[in-house]
Amino acid sequence: MTRATEAADELDLAYEETRHGRVNSLEEAAAARGIEPAKLIKTIVVRLSDDDYRFVLVPGDREIAWPKLRALLGINRISMPSADTALEVTGYVRGTITPLGSTNAWPVIADERITGTISIGGGEHGVGLTVDAEALVKALNATVADVT
């Protein structure tokens, strides 16, 4: 078990865990999990201020549209924390970050294109959790918006 699977269990979120070991790209991870890259969800932690962060869930084939995210949040400046800061505020190293089991329950924003069966990081390198997108969004109380 990982902190992410423990958190999923606590949230009564149905999932299928896939362990495939380290990969070198999002495409390799998607292939190892048997899904299209668009269905592999990236969790990106963004910094609003020194003690305020958000998790942004983005389809694997898309990138954050920073103007859209800033408009949604009503702020002019968002930054990406350093790897050390990301670890400090989530408990996860880059490449394994997920809102599930994070050491801080930062608010979650999910891109509106995240639908159907998806795979999100399982909190360790080479671990993915296949879940229903709607169930994940509900379990995380995520804000759904066009942010890519």
The partner residues of 36 in beta bridges, in order of sequence, read none
Residue 16, pLDDT score: 96
Q: Answer whether residue 148 is part of any domain.
A: no
Asked which of 1-15, 18-32, 95-109 is least confident by mean pLDDT, the reply is: 18-32
Residue 82, pLDDT score: 96
Q: Answer whether residue 39 is part of any domain.
A: yes
Q: Answer whether residue 101 is part of any domain.
A: yes
Q: Answer whether residue 42 is part of any domain.
A: yes
**CA distances for 43 relative to 62, 108, angstroms:** 12, 9
Q: Reply yes or no on whether the pLDDT at 36 is more than 90.
A: yes
Q: Which CATH number belongs to the domain containing residue 100 in this structure? A: 3.90.960.10
Q: What's the CA angle centered on 116, arms 112 and 118, to 5 degrees?
A: 90
Tell me which of 95 and 57 has the higher pLDDT.
Answer: 57
Q: What percent of the chain has pLDDT over 90?
A: 93
Q: Answer whether residue 37 is part of any domain.
A: yes
Summarize the confidence of residues 127-137 as an average pLDDT: 97
Q: Answer whether residue 102 is part of any domain.
A: yes
Range of the domain at 96: 3-140
Q: Answer whether residue 11 is part of any domain.
A: yes
Read off the pTM: 0.96
The total of structural domains in the chain comes to 1
Query: How many angstroms separate the CA atoms of 146 and 113, rounded?
Result: 8
Burial 79-98, CB ≥16 within 10 A → b, else e? eebeeeebbebbbbeeebbb
Q: Reply yes or no on whether the pLDDT at 1 is more than 90.
A: no
The partner residues of 53 in beta bridges, in order of sequence, read 47
Q: Reply yes or no on whether the pLDDT at 41 is more than 90.
A: yes
Which tens digit of pLDDT belongs to each residue from 10-29?
Answer: 999 999 999 998 888 989 99
Q: Answer whether residue 124 is part of any domain.
A: yes
